[in-house]
Structure 1
Amino acid sequence: MSNATHDSAVTGIRSKFSKLGPTWVAGAIAAGPASMAAVLGAGATFGYALLWVVVLSALLGATTQYLSMRLGLLTERGIVGAVEDHLGELWAWVLVIDTVLASGLAQIVIMKTVAEVSGTITGFDARLWSVVWALVLAAGLAGGGYRFLEVGAKAIVSVVVVAFVASAFFVPIDAGAAASGMVPTIPNGLDGALLAAGVLGGAVHITLITMQSYTMQARGWTREDYDLGRFDVATSMLVAFGVFSVATFLVAASVLAPEFSPGGDLNAAVAADALGPLAGEYAQALFLFGLWGAAVSTLGANTVVPPYLLADKLGWETNVSDGRFRAAVVAVALIGALGAFLGGEFFTLLVVMLAFGLVGTPFALVVVLYLLNHPGAVPEQNPTAANVGGVAVLVIASVLAGVFVRDQYAQGSLTDPVTAFVLAFAVAMAAATLGLIGKFVLSARRSTPTVEAGSDA
């Protein structure tokens, strides 16, 4: 290969990577503190037993984002607008409410994480930090818009991935035990169900599904960018997120599991020991930096999700040039400041947050699959492989969400407000999901041509 050809190839690769972004914003949420807490908790509590869920989460996460990317580019619409056009206003509002509830809870819990980690690092009160970060977030996103978010997401997610992947080379991983962890099983009741739902919820989440069309719009992508969109999904969710989650899990299972008692409370100080073989006495500082970076990037990406959907539903522009959209971004950023006043250990709350989001995710998956197979919404037939992959994600997400809800009910009581809210939300979203599936089946039957008597078969 000549130098000119080689230089041209390198330039082409660099150009392609420089154009990436929309799914990296989703990856900033996926590789965030909640996923970190779920993956570390799964490895620390059950050793290698839930490795299958971790591997599956990356594959299903990439599949889900591919379907969302495909819908966004082929319709060249925001997902709420597409739903309203082809399914009706009621279904659009259900999607908006579902997403706002999941992302709103995430905003508060992740802000609690950012504030408490910032407080630990600096020694200042976490409540003060929650206000500071809310103001920084509001000013940065309202002023810098999408590009501010995308650049930060790429940089911080890359640092977090490198830190945890490097640590995997310094720990003794039990290959036999890891292989046995690829056999699907959910151990130990609610603890196992919660962690499994949390791990999958980090990659297959309604927030990630719904934001994809808007971040692509913000980047100016159209149908002409379809190949770039696939590359974006593969590099961020399948490679970066997959490597990050598997490496983090293996380190936790190798280092923390022998010392951690199942049923114990995993916190930042205990989780930091996972990096001990790599960083020694600096393990806690390195872990806190990684956790802080993941939380900041996730918080920035999550803040724009409710404004995107509300703006699309209410007919606003989905960018900061519209004062109403900008005000919504500021409002969500400031509401997050309440996180520091939320009780409980943030590591536990992060996992519960993901499991809760997973409960509302099957509805969003059905919406995407419905529209991709609606001839009036998408101008070309959805590939069979894409439909099979989407249905597989739907079934697995529904089963894990169902197991979590069942065990939440078994362990709790209807008089407990958290349990009652989770069950009410689960019932409402299950009814909406089944209703939409029924609507799709009826529509498909009406559109199927019948063979008249006496005609050639």
Structure 2
Amino acid sequence: MNPDSTDVADSARPRSRFGRLGRLGPAWLAGAIAAGPATMASLLTAGASFGYQLLWVVILSAILGTTAQLLAMRLGLLTEDGIVSTVERHLGSRWAWLLVVDAVLAAGLAQLVIMKTVADVFAAASGVDARIWGVVWAVVLAVGLAGGGYRVAELGAKVVVSLVVLAFVASLAVVPVDLGAAAGGLVPRLPAGVDGALVAAGILGGAVHVTLVTMHSYTMRARGWTADDEGVATLDVVSSMLGAFGVYSLAIFLVAAGVLQSPAVDAASLTATTAAQSLGPLVGPAAQALFFAGLLGAAISTLGGNTVVPPFLVADKLGWDTDVSDARYRGLLVAVALLSAGGAFLGGSFFPLLVLVLAFGLVGTPFAIVVVLVLLHDREAVDEPLSRFGTLGGVVLVVVTTVTAGSFVRERVASGLGDPLTLFVTAFATVMAAATLLLVAKSVRESLGRPDARRAPTDD
């Protein structure tokens, strides 16, 4: 992509404190996807089921999500290219295609379910058929993104996510929080039983996802950022993931733990909509209205941010500009936006589908993180080696996402291999696990063959 004059001017602005704040944005698209209804599902389940016990996991998820985006940011800044092009140049076309398929499958399936979420929530609020809302929002996405491209998506993410965070923070003002019990939740421990471990894994997995990792290099390129913009890029990630996403997660969790863990609420059948409805009789209509407004905003912001992911990756692999100035890329945006209307025609409740889609996306996340780590340790790909601290953070991310994905796959397999969905998930998991192991082995073998293989990474 050739940055337009606006992007060049953006990169050349003074680096004052207020100037930097005004330039924030690329990481907020990732934050908009992370702060979505799927993450909300895990947080509500955790708080309503176990009270404050998993507060430490909520905080850890924001830290790990920030770490993942910082690694993706570093790769994008040092290569000044999209992640797919970088993979193709340094690892080969097959690895690039595998990354594209991995991310597009996760983002595409998520797009359908997110659209169903938006349509169902608006239908519940307005009484208008959800399928009509699905078509309406698909057209809005197609027109808005095809006309304004990245800038529209970024602006929407910043505005809506900020309003969502404010809505949930405001709800805390009318919801009682037991500070003593909350403090006890800072001690790392898991509730007894398998359910506690799975819910904790779901919270962590919501912040670290293949779509978030792969999209970051493209959003920074849309701004024309280079290695000289590392300071503002770091502030962008920290303010979005550690700040906005962290506050979003914390507020939802504290509301659920403080109010929804109640005999009057059935945690097993809780959904985002029923959670909002339950707050009315428990703590008053103000809390219900604020929570419902936050739910609507979270669904909308996630829908807009997720729409741009498949077009970014496919266009980069095909050698097209990842910008609306390229009619082919614009066509991809329109196609993804319009096809997402099909999600509103899916049957069943959107809440379990959100959990399923999130878990499916996690199956391919370890591979994406390993790709980033391998490239950040490849001296032909980047000029500056990754620090030991950065490497440790990446390894922790791989472990967390692998455990989370493994739990999901084991649960599906334990339920039987008779249905097509379980067979597909199992096959996909097998392919991605084999690819991840092969990539690690390839990287180690090539590293040992280099003359500077024994050079230790820096601690900078």
Both proteins in one fold, TM over 0.5 = yes
Residue in structure 1 matched with residue 302 of structure 2 by the alignment:
298
Specify the alignment match of 1:3 in structure 2. none
Distance 2:280 2:384 in 1: 48
Q: Which of 442, 445, 452 is matched with 1:442 structurally?
A: 445
Match 2:316 to one of 312, 328, 333: 312
* 8 Å contact from structure 2 (residues 174, 287) kept in 1: no
State the match for 2:113 in structure 1: 109
Other structure's SS at 1:170 match: coil
Q: Judge which range, 126-135 or 269-278, deviates more.
A: 269-278
Alignment map for 1:52-131 (pairs within 5 Å): 52-131=56-135
Distance 1:322 1:241 in 2: 32
- What stretches of structure 2 of length at least 5 have no aligned partner? 1-14, 455-460
Please name the residue that 2:403 is paired with.
399
- 2:191 and 2:422 map into 1 onto residues whose CA distance is 21
* Partner AA of 1:144 in structure 2: G
Question: How many angstroms apart in 2 are the aligned matches of 1:133 and 1:357?
Answer: 23
1:33/1:267 CA distance change after superposition, 3 Å: closer
1:49, distance to aligned residue in structure 2 (A): 2.9
Contact 1:73 1:222 in 2 (8 A): yes
Residue number among 430, 434, 440 corresponding to 1:431 in the alignment: 434
Could you tell me which of 410, 413, 416 is aligned with 1:409? 413
**Structure 1 CA distance for aligned equivalents of residues 69 and 184 of structure 2:** 29
The aligned counterpart of 1:370 is: 374
**How far 1:450 sits from its partner (Å)?**
9.2
Residue 172 (structure 1) aligns with: 176
Are the equivalent residues in 2 in contact too, given 1:194–1:355 (CA < 8 A)?
no
Amino acid at match of 2:126: T
How far apart are residue 406 of structure 1 and its match?
Answer: 1.6
SS in 2 for 1:447: coil
Distance 1:271 1:408 in 2: 30
Q: Percent identity?
A: 59
In the alignment, structure 1 residue 353 sits paired with structure 2 residue 353: no
- Quote the residue 1:6 is aligned against: none
Residue pairs, 1:322-337, within 5 angstroms: 322-337=326-341
**Stretch of structure 1 that moved more, 254-263 or 85-94:** 254-263
Deviation at 1:149, TM superposition (A): 0.9
Letter in 2 for 1:266: T
The Cα of 1:158 is off from its aligned counterpart by: 0.6
Structure 1 range deviating more: 267-276 or 357-366: 267-276
**Can you list the C-alpha shifts for 1:111-131, whole angstroms capped at 9, x where unaligned?**
001111111222111001101
State the match for 1:419 in structure 2.
422
Q: Could you give the per-residue CA deviations for residues 280-311 of structure 1, whole angstroms, max 9, x where no partner exists? A: 22444433322111111111110010000000
Question: 2: distance between equivalents of 1:232 and 1:275?
Answer: 36
* 2:192 equivalent to 1:183: no
Check the 8 A contact 1:193/1:403 in 2, yes or no.
no
Q: Single out whichever of 134-143 and 162-171 deviates more from structure 2.
A: 162-171
Match of 2:155 among 143, 151, 169: 151
* Letter matched to residue 184 of structure 1: R
Native 8 Å contact 1:193 1:407 kept in 2: no
Is 317-326 or 412-421 further displaced after alignment? 412-421
Could you say what secondary structure the match of 2:323 adopts? coil
Give unpaired runs (5+ residues) of structure 1: 1-10, 452-457
Give the Cα separation in 1 of the matches to 2:453 and 2:335.
54
Aligned-residue offset at 1:277: 7.0
How many angstroms does 1:193 deviate by? Answer: 4.9
- Give how far 1:314 is off: 0.3
CA RMSD of aligned residues (A): 2.0
The residue aligned with 2:233 is: 229
CA offsets per residue over residues 258-278 of structure 1, 9 Å max, x none? 233443343412344347777
Q: Is the 8 A contact 1:30 1:241 kept in 2?
A: yes
Instruction: Note the C-alpha offset of 1:221.
Output: 0.7
Report if aligned partners of 2:66, 2:242 keep a CA contact under 8 Å in 1: yes
Look up the SS of the partner of 2:67 in the other structure.
helix
AA in 2 matched with 1:145? G
Contact kept in structure 2, 1:194 and 1:352, CA below 8 Å: no
Among 384, 389, 401, the residue aligned to 2:393: 389
Q: Indicate conservation of the 8 Å contact 1:252/1:274, yes or no.
A: no
- Residue 21 (structure 2) pairs with residue 37 (structure 1): no
Q: CA deviation at 1:239?
A: 1.2
Equivalent residue pairs, number: 438
In structure 2, distance between residues paired with 1:382 and 1:80: 20
**CA 1:26 to 1:238, structure 2 compared with 1: closer, same or farther past 3 Å?**
same
Aligned residue identity for 2:260: L
Shift of 1:420: 2.1
Change beyond 3 A, Cα 1:450–1:104:
closer
Alpha-carbon separation, structure 2, partners of 1:281 and 1:271: 10
> Normalized against structure 1, the TM-score is what?
0.91
Q: CA deviation at 1:220?
A: 1.1
Aligned letter for 1:333?
A
Q: Which residue of 2 aligns with 1:220?
A: 224
Q: Deviations over 1:27-74 (max 9, x none)?
A: 111111221122112211222233232111100000000000000000
Give the stretch that moved more between structures: 246-255 or 71-80.
246-255
- Note if contact 2:45-2:270 (Cα within 8 Å) is conserved in structure 1: no
Amino acid in the other structure paired with 1:16? R
The normalised TM-score by structure 2 is 0.91
* In structure 2, C-alpha distance between the alignment counterparts of 1:226 and 1:275, rounded to whole Å: 45
